[in-house]
Amino acid sequence: MGENVTKTDLEWKRHLTPEQYRITRQKGTEAPYSGLYRDFKGLGTYRCVCCGNVLFSSETKCDGNAKWPTFWEPIGDWSVKTAREIFHFMIRNEVTCGLCHAHLGYAFEDGRPPRGVRYYINSAALVFVEHEGKH
């Protein structure tokens, strides 16, 4: 856990690539099936590209044919936040970083085991950090 991260819009633009900025600061979405981490199998943790907050473990990454990297549980209750929103008559849960409030993706309560929730996260919102000593 850490402290909330606050930067100006200009500071975020300097820190992020245009694609990262569009997704994390402007609630964008990368094209389905295009993300770097969608089929990625490394062992480690996924962190927020904006502030480095630890978000998800590779141990909770779902296998399958999802359009985006998908996880069934965040690292902790503090790591991500969700908020319901209505978009084109669809109710969905936006997922944001618990520290810098970056838009990460969406969570859907689909009832599938083990938790009944799937977190669909944009690869551009993530940085992967490999477990030390595992190659």
Strand order in the sheet with 54-57: 54-57, 44-48, 126-130
Question: Which domains are assigned to the chain?
Answer: 9-130 (2.170.150.20)
Question: Does residue 2 have a pLDDT over 90?
Answer: no
Of 30, 28, 25, which is closest to residue 10 (Cα–Cα)? 25
Summarize the confidence of residues 51-75 as an average pLDDT.
Answer: 93
Cβ pair 121, 27 in contact under 8 A: no
Q: What are the tokens at 33?
A: 């099936």
Peptide bond connecting 114 to the previous residue in cis, omega within 30 degrees of 0: yes
The C-alpha atoms of residue 82 and residue 105 are separated, in whole angstroms, by 10
The C-alpha atoms of residue 8 and residue 97 are separated, in whole angstroms, by 16
CA torsion through residues 50, 16, 71, 93, sign: positive
Question: Does residue 135 have a pLDDT over 50?
Answer: no
Cβ pair 110, 119 in contact under 8 A: no
User: Which residue shows structure tokens 């990262």?
Assistant: 20
Query: Mean pLDDT over all residues of the chain?
Result: 91
Of 134, 72, 62, 69, which is closest to residue 109 (Cα–Cα)? 72
pLDDT band for position 101 (cuts 50, 70, 90)? very high
Cβ pair 92, 84 in contact under 8 A: yes
Q: What is the pTM of this model?
A: 0.90
Summarize the confidence of residues 56-76 as an average pLDDT.
Answer: 92
